[in-house]
Chain A
Amino acid sequence: MRKALLSIGLVAASASYVGLQNHVLDVMQPGGQVASVSAVAEGPDLTDLLATPAEAAQTEAAPATPLALGTIVTEPSPAPSVAEITPPVVVPLVVTPPIASVEPTAPLSSEQPVVVANSAPVVTLPPIPRPRPHAADVALQSAQAIALAAPSGPYRDGTYKGTSENAYYGRVQVQITVAGNYIAKVDVLSYPSDRRTSRYINAQALPILQSEVMRAQDASVDGVSGATLTSRAYIRSLGKAVAQARGSNA
Chain B
Amino acid sequence: MRETRLIMGMPITIDVPLGPDAIEAAFDYFIAVDNRFSPYKSDSELSAMNRGEVTGDDLSEEMLEVLALSELTRHETAGYFNIRRPGGGVDPSGLVKGWAIRNASRLIAAMGHADYFVEAGGDIQCAGVNAEGKPWRVGIRNPFHDGEIVKVLQPGDAGIATSGTYVRGAHIYDPNDGRELRDLLSLTVVGPDIYEADRFATAAFAMGRDGIAFIEEAVGLEGYSIDHAGIATMTSGFKQLVVQ
Contacts and interface: CB of A to CB of B under 8 A. Distances in A.
Contact of A138 (B39, B56, B167): B167
Interface stretch (A9-17, A151-159, A239-247): A9-17
A147 interface: no
A58 B87 CA distance: 9
A211 B233 contact: yes
Contacts of A186: 169-170
A150 interface: no
Nearest to A200: B210
A243 to B, nearest CB: 18
B220 A94 contact: no
B186 to A, nearest CB: 5
Contacts of B195: 116
B206 A134 contact: yes
Contact of A225 (B91, B122, B209, B233): B122
B9 A226 contact: no
Nearest to A123: B220
A11 B11 CA distance: 10
A225 B174 contact: no
Contacts of B13: 27, 223
B9 A13 contact: yes
A35 B90 contact: no
B84 A60 contact: yes
B232 to A, nearest CB: 5
Interface in A27-44: 27-28, 30, 34-35, 37, 39-40, 42-44
B141 A123 contact: no
A180 interface: no
A226 B29 contact: no
Contacts of A100: 25, 107, 110-111
A34 B147 contact: yes
Contacts of B62: 96
B90 A37 contact: no
A27 B4 contact: yes
B140 A142 contact: no
A5 interface: no
A119 interface: yes
A14 B82 contact: no
B123 A14 contact: yes
A195 to B, nearest CB: 11
Given A14-B97, A102-B106, A187 B173 contact: yes
A189 B173 contact: yes
A59 interface: yes
| Most chain A Cβ neighbours within 10 Å, of B4, B29, B68, B234 | B68
A37 B230 contact: no
Contacts of A34: 147
Contacts of B142: 214, 216
Contacts of A15: 93-94, 163, 202
B175 interface: yes
A182 interface: no
A118 B105 CA distance: 11
A223 B135 CA distance: 12
B139 A43 contact: no
A158 to B, nearest CB: 17
A141 interface: yes
A14 B67 contact: no
Given A15-B93, A123-B196, 5 more contacts: A43-B40, A91-B64, A143-B169, A214-B232, A227-B164
Q: Which 8 interchain pairs have the tightest Cβ spacing?
A: A143-B169, A62-B79, A226-B141, A227-B164, A12-B10, A126-B217, A169-B206, A82-B88
14 contacts: A25-B11, A62-B78, A72-B76, A82-B84, A116-B195, A121-B192, A121-B219, A140-B166, A189-B175, A201-B213, A216-B148, A225-B122, A225-B140, A226-B162
